[in-house]
Amino acid sequence: MSRLNEVFKKLYKIGLVVTFAYFLLFLFYDIHNLDNNRKRYLSAHYISEGVQETGAINLVASVLYDYRAFDTLGEATMILTAATVLAFLVPISKATTFGTTFKSIVKQTVKLILPYLAVLGTYLILFGHVSPGGGFVGGVVLSIIAILLTITYSVEFSEYIVKPDQKKLVEDIGAIGFVLLGLLGVFTGSNFLANGQAYFGTGNAGEVFSAGLIPFINVMIGLKVGAGLAIIFNSLIKEK
Amino acid sequence: MINIVFYLLLLFLIITAFFMVFTKDLSNSVITLPLFGAILVIIFVILQAPGVALAGAIMTAGLTTAFFVITINKTEY
Amino acid sequence: MEIAYVAVIILFCLGIYTIITKKNLIKIVFGVTIVESSLILLLMLVGYKPDGTAPILDKEYEIVVDPIPQALALTTVVIGGSVTAVMLVMVIKIHRRYRTLNIDEIRKLRG
């Protein structure tokens, strides 16, 4: 009898999920039937006026760091919260290492790769407003340097090269620098985190030194994301 | 032509997701996760989203898999 | 492109099914990852226009895909990775306390 009960429970759950899928089908049918051009005033405005107003030819960067920069501040706070929670949960204990040690081929290869990773991350951050990329992606690439050091050598060596206090300091510099760059807009008589409206000199669109505050905000986001992910990974390794 | 490739990639995406969920061994499903992320990245490139494709290639196919591998290493002994 | 919405629905429901039926905690985190991926795919599909170009306007253009869903999805990817890390640390903590990952036995131990 209990076996029949189990089968009934499983069929009940499958039926729930299938019913849910059936209702989602109607919902998405309505989403797809939205008139593609008539109801999107905001997107049309960004596409037609975005390059002149912000000076960045990558429209994703101009939405993230100029029009909707306040939301980006909140999303960057999420990573700070995650790193803080992990550093709070994991006690300061002796680090545990993996079971195997690598041969010298892996170590030499990693040593060869690291400078190219640093160049790639810096390129992605600095050219974030003229090409795909930006602070979030470049920061993740920069954090991979510390993560590769941790995996191939050990936690002790990685924390000897980049100290934990230095990582926390870099993350705090990123967080505070973002807010200070936002206050720059208030001092010139405009809104918080204003860039295009505050007349910072957007320059010629398409060059590296253009688009006002957007490259500096990219650098701050990159520092913050890179240091935060490195802290998260090292905390995960240290938990035994 | 690009439509046929797009639908084939969607089919592969669903097959890898089902394999990831319904396989018995946990290490099998961990190894399928970067495959899932890589197929998702190609779909993003076809849908004209290069920035999201870069982020997905690094995060979903790279770092998240490392997180799962470390968790399995620390919980199964 | 209409069949792609059906794929999104299948992936989303597969993730929900994984969350509510599987017993292993790590499998549940896999389900959360699948749900995240399907939502990012939905955002991309909403912003796509046929024959559009990517939103980087350095040449002549006629139709440009919608940049707002891409900006939302770019942050969602990175935030989702860090949230997954937090969940996995919780899993390691639970395993260290109860010595098991089966969710039924953890419920039994609580009494």
Mutation for testing the C interface, residue in A18, A64, A70, A96 having most C CBs under 10 Å: A64
Give the CATH number of the domain where residue C69 resides.
1.10.287.3510
**Least confident piece of the model among A204-218, B9-23, C30-44, C69-83:** A204-218
Which of A13, A125, A140, A145 should one mutate to test binding to chain B, selecting the residue with the greatest count of B CBs within 10 A?
Answer: A140
| Number of domains within chain C | 1
Full residue range of the structural domain in which residue C67 is found: 2-110
pLDDT at A156 (0 to 100): 77
Please state whether the predicted TM-score (pTM) of the whole model is above 0.90: no
Contact A144 B74 (CB under 8 A): no
Q: Which domain holds residue B14?
A: 2-75
- The answer to whether the Cβ–Cβ distance between A140 and B50 falls below 8 Å is no
A147-189: pLDDT as tens digits: 888 888 877 777 788 888 888 888 888 888 888 888 887 777 7
Q: Shortest CA distance to B48 belongs to which of C70, C62, A47?
A: C70
- In a mutational test of the A interface, the residue from C8, C82, C83 whose CB has the highest number of chain A CBs within 10 Å is C82
Question: Taking the domains of chain A in order of start, what are their residue ranges?
Answer: 34-238
Amino acid at A9: K
Place of tokens 């990952």: C101
Q: Across the interface, do A57 and C56 touch by the CB < 8 Å criterion?
A: yes
Task: Decide if the complex's ipTM is over 0.90.
Answer: no
Residue-wise pLDDT for A22-41, tens only, equals 888 888 777 766 555 556 67
Reported residue count of chain B is 77
Quick one: tokens of C67? 């940049």
Structure confidence at residue A119 (pLDDT): 92
Tens of pLDDT along A191-200? Answer: 777 776 666 6
**Mean pLDDT, rounded, of chain A:** 80
Query: Which of C3, C10, C13 should we substitute to test contact with A (largest number of A Cβ atoms within 10 Å)?
Result: C13
Touching C: which chains, 3+ CB pairs < 8 A?
A, B
Asked if B55 reaches chain C (Cβ–Cβ under 8 Å), the answer is yes
* Of the candidate ranges A28-37, A162-171, C48-57, C92-101, the one whose mean pLDDT is the lowest: A28-37
CA nearest A230 in B: which residue?
A: B63
CA-CA distance, A213 to A187, in Å (whole number)?
14
Three-class secondary structure of residue C53 per DSSP: strand
With residues binned 3-state (H G I as helix, E B as strand, rest as coil), the percentages for chain B, rounded to 5, are 90, 0, 10
| pLDDT tens track for B17-28 | 999 889 888 888
Answer yes or no: is pLDDT of C49 > 70: yes
Nearest CA in chain A to C56: A58
Nearest residue of C to residue A19, measured between CA atoms: C13
- Total beta-carbon pairs less than 8 A apart between chain A and chain B: 38
| pLDDT for A201 | 66
CA–CA distances in Å: residue A210 to residues A109, A145, A182, A200, C67:
37, 29, 17, 10, 20
Q: Compute the distance between CA of residue A225 and CA of residue A62 in angstroms, rounded to an integer.
A: 19
Binding-face residues of A in 104-143 toward C, CB within 8 A: 130-132, 134, 136-137, 140
Distance CA C89, CA A189 (A): 45
pLDDT score for C48: 82
Beta bridge partners of C24: C102
Q: What is the dihedral of CA B1, B4, B6, B12, to 10 degrees?
A: -140
Residue B73: which of A58, A98, A147 has the nearest Cβ? A98
Q: What is the pLDDT of residue B26?
A: 87
- Count the Cβ atoms, other than its own, within 10 Å of residue B33: 21
Lowest mean per-residue pLDDT among A42-46, A201-205, B13-17: A201-205
User: How many other C-beta atoms lie within 10 A of the C-beta of residue B38?
Assistant: 15
Arithmetic mean of pLDDT, A85-110: 75
Per-residue pLDDT tens digits for B37-59 = 999 999 999 888 888 888 888 88
Give, in order, the Cα–Cα distances in Å from A3 to each of A7, A9, A10, A50.
Answer: 6, 10, 11, 63
Confirm or reject contact between A14 and chain C (CB < 8 A): yes
Q: For chain C, what is the total number of helices (H) and then of strands (E)? A: 4, 0
| Residue A226 in this model has a pLDDT that exceeds 70 | yes
Which of A98, A133, A140 is nearest residue B51 as measured by Cβ atoms? A133
Least confident of A150-164, A202-216, B58-72, C33-47: A202-216
Say how far apart CA A66 and CA C109 lie, in whole Å: 52
Tell me which residue in B59, B66, B74 faces A239 most closely, judged by beta carbons.
Answer: B74
**What's residue B12's pLDDT?**
92
A116: pLDDT strictly greater than 60: yes
- Render the burial of A162-198: b for 16+ CB within 10 Å, e for the rest: beeeebbebbeebbebbeebbebbeeeebeebbbbeb
Number of domains composing chain B = 1
Given a cut of 70, whether residue A123 has pLDDT beyond it is yes
What are the distances in angstroms from CA A2 to CA A5, C86, C105?
5, 37, 18
The nearest alpha carbon in chain C to A138 belongs to C78
Asked if residue A3 has pLDDT above 60, the reply is yes
Give backbone dihedrals phi and psi of A19, rounded to 5 degrees, phi first: -65, -40
Residue C73 to residue B75, Cβ atoms within 8 A: no
